[in-house]
Amino acid sequence: MKKIILSSCLAFTMIAAVAQAPTGYYNHAAGKTCAELKTALKNIIDDEINSFTGDTYKSVTKDYKDLPAQYVLTDIKLRELNAGQPGYSQYVIWDIYSDKPGPNNDPYNFTPGTNACGSYGKEGDCYNREHTFPASWFNDQSPMYSDYIHILPTDGSVNGIRSNFRYGKVGTATKTSLNGSKLGPSSVAGISGTVFEPIDEYKGDVARIYFYMVTRYEDKLATFKGYNTDGALTLTGNKFPAIEKEYLALMYQWHLADPVSDKERTRNNGTFSFQNNRNPFVDNPEYVNLIWGAGCASLPVDFVQLSGSLHNNVIALTWDVKNEQQLKSYVVERSFNGETFHAIGEVAARGAHQYNYNDDIKQLDGRRIYYRIKKVDIDGAIGYSAIFSVHVPLTRSGLSVYPNPSNGQFTLALETAAKNAKLVVSDLKGAIIHTQVIPANQTQVQLNLNKLASGTYLVKVFKDGESIQTKIQVIN
């Protein structure tokens, strides 16, 4: 019986994937930009009818307990593990914290209904309902609490790890899920504290959900800012721009890097059937730029986003540049108190979208270091990025690999060199995949694993009678 139900679900999903918003649904938004467009979209997707001439749609507030039944319709995909085997459903829950793009990469699959939480003890036990835009940010109030658009079915354990932290870019992960989602300190200047980073394939999804939430509930944002610390750091407390500049820039970047997928389109059409409204940023991704782009004074044209991560004796800095024009160079500045900065290096501007600089911090154990990037125009004018800080622990593991995840090209960094050292790469079951001798007195090794299938692997280094190890993730 379950298989019959799920087969009919797939038919619905296939139809939904090609469906569109009703004719005329976004007419009220035509010709508008910036804050005016944002408010027009709010009026289209809100729970009021006749809020403007021609408004015939009224969103319906559903009960929180109604969501699991909708998940079975528009949050499913084909099973990867045990596909076609007797006793296993053909379709499974599409969980962004366990899904690993590519054939047969998932670490586990959830059968709709059967594996719903309940309680959980570890990752893979069950799935539950996650408020992508944390419920504590709006004090568990209705109608936000049961709004299907931002409540995804996710692994219960990973949902618990993510807690009420906002999404962001992690520097050094303290926890990593089996598909590579990470928890850890933010590595983006201007975004502080602990953040949770989904894999690249779902960063656009969550960004467009955030844009929906600050649009759909723009009249409530003033109260949202007072309920939770992370929410207060993310939201401006007003209708426009609604999101703090540095966080807005990150979500904007994720939106551009991960375009709308069929998964999102299917879910958006399911939303319309379920609660009679839609996410306009899935239907019309260009609305993001029309509302928050440079012409609306939200994202500066020459925005620089600075991030960094610690790798033994090196802090690897990266900054992303948008619309670079008439720039001479970028000066890297360092501080130990966040106030007095000194130049430590300079990188020539070359019309790129991303720049890098490695800072040697061998003698800086136990210090908190602050960085900023000074932009220097060819006419001498200057500007600064936001400040990024990182704490260098007193003791370190002695081994790091970056970038991680990667498409297979890694740099392995040892804190100290050895006369005779060897590295071994194995899968999680212990099968050896790759071995490599590390030349004497060398502390950096290039590791080429681009022929490996996407997945998580162990890297072990044997030197001086001991071994040290770390995990890496290959994404092809």
Give the pLDDT of residue 217.
97
Confidence of residue 455 (pLDDT cuts 50, 70, 90): confident
- Report angle CA 323, 325, 328 to the nearest 5 degrees: 130
Structure-model confidence comparison of residues 303 and 224, the more confident one:
224
Which residue is it, tokens 């829950």?
93
Q: Where are the beta strands (DSSP E) in 198-323?
A: 304-311, 314-321
Give the pLDDT of residue 465.
67
Least confident among 11-20, 197-206, 242-251: 11-20
Question: Which of 245, 272, 296 lies at the terminal end of a domain, its last residue?
Answer: 296
Give the pLDDT of residue 278.
97
Claim to verify: residue 151 and residue 235 sit in the same structural domain: yes
Claim to verify: residue 159 and residue 92 sit in the same structural domain: yes
Question: Which of 260, 275, 296 lies at the terminal end of a domain, its last residue?
Answer: 296
CATH code for the domain of 456: 2.60.40.3080
Claim to verify: residue 193 and residue 91 sit in the same structural domain: yes
Claim to verify: residue 218 and residue 240 sit in the same structural domain: yes
Give the pLDDT of residue 381.
74
The mean per-residue pLDDT over the stretch 255-262 comes to 93
pTM: 0.71
Claim to verify: residue 180 and residue 308 sit in the same structural domain: no
Kindly state the DSSP code that residue 453 receives in the 8-state scheme: P
Claim to verify: residue 254 and residue 359 sit in the same structural domain: no
Closest CA to 417 of 397, 438, 432, 393: 438
Question: Which of 391, 419, 434 lies at the terminal end of a domain, its last residue?
Answer: 391
In angstroms, what CA-CA distances link 75 with 17, 110, 211, 347, 476? Answer: 12, 11, 20, 46, 24
Claim to verify: residue 107 and residue 221 sit in the same structural domain: yes
Instruction: Kindly report the average pLDDT of the chain as a whole number.
Output: 87
Claim to verify: residue 460 and residue 349 sit in the same structural domain: no
CATH code for the domain of 376: 2.60.40.10
Mean pLDDT comparison of 24-33, 285-294, 383-392, 398-407, highest-scoring range: 24-33
The number of CA neighbours under 13 Å toward the Cβ of 411 is 13
Give the pLDDT of residue 126.
95
**Cross-strand bridge partners of residue 220:** none
Kindly state the DSSP code that residue 64 receives in the 8-state scheme: G
Confidence of residue 370 (pLDDT cuts 50, 70, 90): very high
Claim to verify: residue 422 and residue 384 sit in the same structural domain: no
The mean per-residue pLDDT over the stretch 2-21 comes to 45
Claim to verify: residue 17 and residue 165 sit in the same structural domain: yes
In angstroms, what CA-CA distances link 364 with 212, 298, 310, 346? Answer: 43, 37, 12, 21
Structure-model confidence comparison of residues 383 and 90, the more confident one:
90
Query: How far, in Å, CA of 327 to CA of 376, rounded?
Result: 6
DSSP per-residue codes, 321-341: ESS--SEEEEEEEEESSSSS-
Q: pLDDT tens across 31-65, in order?
A: 999 999 999 999 999 998 888 988 999 999 999 99
Claim to verify: residue 312 and residue 367 sit in the same structural domain: yes
Pairing of strands 382-384, 314-321: unpaired
Is the pLDDT score of 5 beyond 50?
A: no
Claim to verify: residue 262 and residue 316 sit in the same structural domain: no
Closest CA to 187 of 309, 93, 288: 309
Query: How far, in Å, CA of 111 to CA of 89, rounded?
Result: 7
The number of distinct structural domains making up the chain is 3
* Beta carbons of 74 and 13 less than 8 angstroms apart: yes
Q: Using CB atoms within 10 A of its CB, is residue 451 exposed (0-12), middle (13-18) or buried (19+)? A: exposed
Where in the sequence is the domain holding 449, given as residue range(s)?
399-474
Confidence of residue 476 (pLDDT cuts 50, 70, 90): low
Q: pLDDT tens across 281-329, in order?
A: 999 999 998 999 867 865 544 556 788 888 777 899 998 887 677 789 9
